[in-house]
Amino acid sequence: MFDFAARPDADTATIWDDLVAAADGVTAGERDGIANMANVAALCWELLPDLNWAGFYRMIDDELVLGPFQGRAACIRIALGRGVCGTAAATKATQRIDDVHAFPGHIACDAASASELVVPLVVAGRVIGVLDLDSPMPGRFTPADAAGAERLCAMIAARLVG
Ligand code: SME
């Protein structure tokens, strides 16, 4: 059993330090990418406050396909360039969206989502998927969250393949 203590009142950088360390711990030495995505989604869900969805989309045949996640059942396939996730994958750039309703083409999987953070997972220059975090709070994700999520994705991306 893994037992990581959530510290929702800690500052954002500390929360991400905890999350990166926990993700490193659970994925190191495991070569199954789906298992690693499942555990990292669970850690995001447990350690990051105020989320209503946390998980992965995998790039399969130039399309994003739903991967392991926590939260409500979600859209299964997202075309490159569509929505926040497809934009992150197509541009290889983090998307930090304070108000999803103002994002052109936002795909509403859960009407409760108000803000979103999506980070592309890049391995050897290729986007292999995205990490998607949703919150019911407008403006939930700060630049410190984007930096933390990018740190997490840089550390785990290669462990999510295979
Ligand atoms: N809102 C996302 C779709 C995925 S769900 O939020 C889980 C988007 O616009 O790409």
Ligand 1: residue whose CA is nearest its atom 2: 107
Q: Output the pLDDT for position 1.
A: 65
Which residues, other chains included, contact 5 with Cβ-Cβ below 8 Å and sequence gap of 6+? none
Residue 84: inside a domain: yes
4 located within any domain: no
Q: Does residue 149 lie in a domain region?
A: yes
Do the domain assignments include residue 1? no
pTM, full prediction: 0.97
CA nearest to 71, candidates 83, 90, 87, 55: 55
Percent of the chain with pLDDT over 70: 99
Q: Note the pLDDT of residue 28.
A: 95
Q: Which residues line ligand 1 (CB under 6 A)?
A: 53, 74-75, 78, 83-86, 106-107, 109, 113, 116, 132, 134
pLDDT band at 152 (very low <50, low <70, confident <90, very high): very high
Domain count, the chain: 1
Among the listed residues 154, 81, 93, the one whose alpha carbon sits nearest the alpha carbon of residue 118? 93
Q: Separation of 68 CA from ligand 1 center, angstroms?
A: 14
Tens of pLDDT, residues 3-48: 878 888 899 999 999 999 999 999 999 999 999 999 999 999 999 9
Print the domain residue range for 65: 12-160
Mean pLDDT for all residues in the chain: 96
